[in-house]
Amino acid sequence: MTSDARAVRVTDHASQITDHGELMGLCCGMIGLPNVGKTTVFNALVGAGAVTANYPFSTVETNVGIAPMPDPRLNKLVEIFRSKKMTPSTLEVRDIAGLVEGASKGEGLGNQFLAQIREVDALMHVVRCFQDPDVVHVGGGVNPLPDIETIETELMLADVETLDRRRQRVEKKVKSGDAKAAKELAVVQKLVDLLNKGEWLGNQPFAADERAILNECQLLSAKPVLFIANAAEGAGEDDPLIRPVKELADKRGAGLVILYGQLEAELSTLPTEDRAEFMKEAGLTESGLVRLTKTAYDLLGLITFFTAGEEEARAWPLRKGTKAAEAAGKIHSDMERGFIRAEVYHYEELIACGNVAGVREKGLFRLEGRDYVIKEGDVVYFRFNV
């Protein structure tokens, strides 16, 4: 069997895996106090029609939605290659029930919800930045920074408990003379000290060995955070409720997206052909999903590369700096093990030339080895042996 034939068949198999639920994309947990509009924002992003209500814990079970990540480049690839199938990258959003003070001790089903947060790649922290006397605020009044502090305190307290359990295990190893354990104990203690000072771990500098231990612990406060300011229609960064959230996000190096939750939810219910006119009337140039996914990609250090052919055109999310062989492994492990080379050209080069033949004629078609670093917008065909 030739490497070319094998490559086509494995790519088809990867598509089948995606169809059966092993989706390749972002997984984000949506957190926030009750009644901040999380489920409204969730519906806006994934169009899932989850229940919304004006009382805490209307979302008792986690709502999970899978939204295709809009990318007009993928549509163009389908047109050029006349692909039978288009597979965009995805955004999986988990609408986790509103956390309350005491969640780290199990209040308000806290243990269940905190466990769900550990499984996600990043946190979308929905912050209420709108006034509405008909929507109860659990704290008695709208004040974004104390709201954020309440949630983050519970996550940090839960992390302290996690680290305390790990410290007890490591201390036993230290007593037995394990030198490696002694170094780990020092890192664990450093993390506990930071948390006890109220320091969010996600924006702290750590050495490589410290980062390795941090990742092993799966701490909630170490996850990247994207703040979503759920605001009244037309509110901008200078709005008095949004401004402090932006300042905090800037200080942390976190992301911030302003969403008009109710308006976006209405948009998500419209037929595709009617959405452009609706957004134009509302003064929006792109949907909340597009803005949110762009910000999330940047926050997580992700790029998009493409595979394209007659059978399928597909977008793949990838960490910046990933080499070609490892990128092939994201499609299928066989492709990384038997990697021969990557045939690469850039999307913009393809558009400028009109087709792959034009790319070849211009000398823009490249053969790259396993150490080639995949770039944003690369179109790649992997060749490999079994």
The CATH number covering residue 20 comes to 3.40.50.300
Phi, psi dihedral angles at 251 (to 5 degrees)? -65, -40
Same domain? 187 vs 287: yes
Residue with tokens 């990247």: 224
Same domain? 184 vs 243: yes
Banded model confidence at residue 108, pLDDT cuts 50, 70, 90? very low
Least confident of 43-52, 84-93, 214-223, 308-317: 43-52
CA distance 222 to 211: 10
Cα angle vertex 45, ends 285, 125, to 5°?
105
pLDDT over threshold 70, residue 214? yes
CA distance 316 to 69: 11
Residue 210 has a CB neighbour count (10 Å cut-off) of 18
> Which of 362-385 are b and which e, b meaning 16 or more Cβ less than 10 Å from the residue's Cβ?
eebbeebeeebebeebbbbbbbbe
pLDDT over threshold 60, residue 287? yes
Q: State which of 240, 274, 299 marks the end of a domain.
A: 299
87: which residues sit within 8 A by CB, 6+ positions away?
A: 15, 18, 312, 313, 314, 315
Same domain? 118 vs 135: yes
Same domain? 262 vs 377: no
In terms of pLDDT, which residue wins out, 9 or 269?
Answer: 269
Same domain? 243 vs 367: no
Is 270:27 a contact under the CB 8 Å cutoff?
Answer: no
Q: What is the DSSP letter of 253?
A: T
Same domain? 218 vs 164: yes
Same domain? 321 vs 189: no
Same domain? 270 vs 330: no
327: which residues sit within 8 A by CB, 6+ positions away?
A: 305, 316, 318, 342, 374, 380, 382
Could you report the per-residue pLDDT of 13-69, keeping only the tens digit for each?
A: 233 233 323 335 678 888 988 888 888 888 777 765 544 444 444 444 677 888 788
> Taking residues 162-181, what's their average pLDDT?
92
Is 189:243 a contact under the CB 8 Å cutoff?
Answer: no
Same domain? 326 vs 191: no
2: which residues sit within 8 A by CB, 6+ positions away?
A: none
Same domain? 212 vs 330: no
Looking at the structure of the chain, the number of domains it has is 2
Q: What is the DSSP letter of 220?
A: G
Of 280, 300, 290, 221, the closest CA to residue 259 belongs to 290
Residue 240 confidence (pLDDT): 95
pLDDT over threshold 70, residue 142? yes
Token pair recorded at residue 168: 């007890």
CA distance 153 to 386: 51
CA distance 180 to 301: 31
- Looking at the DSSP bridge assignments, the partners of residue 122 are 28
Q: State which of 299, 331, 346 marks the end of a domain.
A: 299
- Positive or negative, the CA dihedral 300, 303, 304, 305 is negative
Residue 140 confidence (pLDDT): 65
Same domain? 292 vs 200: yes
| H helices present in the chain, as ranges | 3-19, 38-46, 72-81, 110-118, 144-175, 179-196, 208-217, 243-252, 261-268, 272-282, 288-300, 324-331, 333-337, 347-353, 356-361
Q: In this structure, what CATH number is given to the domain that contains residue 307? A: 3.10.20.30
* Residue 65 lies in domain: 12-299
Is 320:302 a contact under the CB 8 Å cutoff?
Answer: yes
CA torsion angle 196 197 202 203 (round to 10): -160
Banded model confidence at residue 231, pLDDT cuts 50, 70, 90? very high
Of 228, 227, 226, 35, the closest CA to residue 131 belongs to 35
Q: State which of 272, 299, 326 marks the end of a domain.
A: 299
Residue 136 confidence (pLDDT): 59
Letter for the amino acid at 274?
Answer: D
Same domain? 360 vs 239: no
